[in-house]
Amino acid sequence: MSIAARSVACALVFVCSSRVASADKDISFESKGERSTTTRILLGSLLGAGVIAGGLGVYWHLDSKSASDDVGAVTFTGKAWTAEDVALVDQADRSRTRAAVAYGIGGALVLGAIIAFIATDPPTETVVITPRRGTPTLTPTDGGATLGGTWSF
Amino acid sequence: MRLAGLLAVVLAACTPEIAPGAYLCGPDQACPDDLACDGASHICVLPSQVTAFACAAGTEAEPNNGLATAQPLRTFECVSQPVELVGCAEGADSEDWYQFDVPATCTTVGVGARLTFPLAFEVLGLELVGNDGATIATGTACPNQSAEDGDEQRCLEQALVPGGHYAVRVLRSGEGSCDGACSYNRYTLSVRLETP
């Protein structure tokens, strides 16, 4: 190794070691926690059950509306009031009640899922990394040198 | 709370809206809830608008409760246009009789009779009675009859003997009388002679 090369290598070691020393500060960052599998299953179940109950509510709602439209009349129909009409009114009433119950249960379940989602929100942790002083190494090689360093946390 | 109110409003639209006057009365004066059967028109109306059943003037020709006192229909030809009359049966008047003669000149002849009455009140029966007082034929439900128009119909077709004397009997059956509360009805009777 020539004298000039050695001089350059020494200069590099000096510069790098000063850089590592200047980075001797704590490193901190926010780390988001994760929900447990049980919690995720619970949330999914609540939401799924709420959606299903809401879907049933829609089904009964439409059934009630259909029966109501079939029997409802505001002008003279020319038809007699029959047992089939009575059955349609009963169907409309029955499906309306079912729809209301299903909407109520579905809404409660979805609301419960939202509340549970908020309540089980995992806390955010602050992770601090304290770097130790780095130790530069310089290994002469043929035609130059290898510059390295070791750090610990 | 607002959501529950909105839900109640939306679901309220599923309650059938049935206006007074929209439906004819069904059997036994059946009507939607909150409505009642009007006796005069057999239409479902508000209870405050209900009028009692009454036979219209000229629809009762008593006595006509037997073969001897039967009300004569017009003189028929072998093939005739139908004679149509409006009748009524209420109170103690449980039947009405109508008599007619068959021309002796007919080779083959039959009678066709149709009785139409509101199904809201007591069901009526139709019979063809011979000159000896025996029932020859009984009316049955008419073909192609619609059960939705608020009327019930009985039809009768029977071959007759030329030169014979017959009577058509309209009687209250006891069915559909609202347990006695609507033991009455009005009717339209159509009779004609035809080639069987």
Please spell the DSSP secondary structure of B92-151, one letter per residue. T--EEEEEEE--TT-SSEEEEEEEEEETTS--EEEEEE-TTS-EEEE-EEPTT--SSSSE
Q: How far off is chain A from B75, nearest CA to CA, in Å?
A: 36
A106 inside 8 A of chain B by CB: no
A76 touches chain B (CB under 8 A): yes
Angle between helices B2-12 and A37-71 (to 10 degrees): 30
Average confidence (pLDDT) over B15-21: 90
Biggest CA-to-CA distance, chain B: 86
Which pLDDT score is estimated for A21? 45
pLDDT at residue number B7: 62
pLDDT for the residue numbered A41: 93
B interface residues, A as partner, C-beta within 8 Å: 3, 7-8, 10-11, 13-19, 21-27, 30-33, 43-44, 119-120, 147-150
Partner-chain residue, chosen from B8, B25, B149, that has the shortest CB–CB distance to A81: B25
CB-based contacts of B4, cutoff 8 Å, min separation 6: none
Domain membership of residue A103 (yes or no) is: no
What is the per-residue pLDDT for A152?
58
Residues of chain B contacting residue A73, judged by C-beta atoms under 8 Å apart: 17-19, 22-23
ipTM, interface predicted TM-score of the complex: 0.80
Tokens found for residue B157: 């077709």
Above 60 in pLDDT, residue B189? yes
A103 contacts on B by Cβ (under 8 Å): 7
Query: Which of A58, A70, A77, A81 has the highest number of chain B CBs within 10 A, making it the mutation to test binding with B?
Result: A81
A residues 22-41 lying closer than 8 A (beta carbon) to B: none
At A81-131, the pLDDT tens digits run 999 999 999 999 999 999 999 999 999 999 999 999 998 888 888 878 776
Question: Is B44 within 8 Å of A88 when comparing Cβ atoms?
Answer: no
Nearest CA in chain A to B20: A74
Chain A residue at shortest CA distance from B12:
A96
Given an 8 Å threshold on Cβ–Cβ distance, is B11 in contact with A99?
Answer: yes
Give the number of domains in chain A: 1
Q: Out of B7, B13, B44, whose CB is closest to A81?
A: B44
Residue at A91 is within a domain: no
Of the partner residues A75, A80, A107, the one whose CB lies closest to the CB of residue B24: A80
Whether residue A148 has pLDDT greater than 90: no
Q: If pLDDT is split at 50, 70 and 90, which confidence band does B63 have?
A: confident
* Owning domain of residue A139: 1-33+133-153
What are the backbone angles phi and psi of residue A2, rounded to the nearest 5°? -75, 165
Residues A3-31 have pLDDT tens digits of 555 555 555 555 544 444 445 577 788 88
Q: Name the phi and psi angles at A23, rounded to 5.
A: -90, 25
Altogether, the residues listed in chain B come to a count of 196
A17 inside domain: yes
Domains of chain B: 2-49 (no CATH), 71-194 (2.60.120.380)
Q: What are phi and psi of B99, to 5 degrees?
A: -115, 155
Mean residue pLDDT across chain A: 82
Task: Judge residue B78's burial from the number of C-beta atoms within 10 Å of its C-beta, 0-12 exposed, 13-18 middle, 19 or more buried.
Answer: middle
**Cβ–Cβ below 8 Å for A81 and B148:** no
Q: Is residue A77 part of a domain?
A: no
Question: Which of B16, B21, B147 lies nearest to residue A89, judging by beta carbons?
Answer: B16
Cβ distance A89 to B31 under 8 Å? no
